[in-house]
Amino acid sequence: MKRKLKNYFTFNKKERNGILLLSFTLIILIIFYHFTPLLKTEDKTDFSEFKKAIQELKYTDDIPKLKHSPQLEIRAVD
């Protein structure tokens, strides 16, 4: 039993190299993921033209007022 357990946890040279390569790759990816926010630059958006257009739309009265309100008729459905 002890021998089977020992054989299960021992690796040959190819397996050891594969584990080292995967571990190294994982560590590099974790470090890259950790420092990625430092590489991003935030663009400041100028909303002044947009706000000006909204203010102009609020004060313009392009939609004519209706002289009468629409009336709904209730009809029986056959």
What b-and-e string marks burial along 44-54, b requiring 16 or more CB atoms within 10 Å of the CB?
eeeeeeeeeee
Q: Whole-angstrom Cα distance, residue 61 to residue 32? A: 55
Q: Is the pLDDT of residue 4 over 60?
A: yes
pLDDT of residue 1: 78
Q: What is the pTM (predicted TM-score) of this model?
A: 0.45
State pLDDT tens for residues 32-76.
Answer: 999 988 888 888 888 889 888 888 877 665 556 666 677 778 888
User: How many Å apart are CA 21 and CA 27, to the nearest integer?
Assistant: 10
Q: Higher pLDDT residue, 29 or 75? A: 29
Q: How far is residue 28's CA from residue 21's CA, in Å, rounded to a whole number?
A: 11
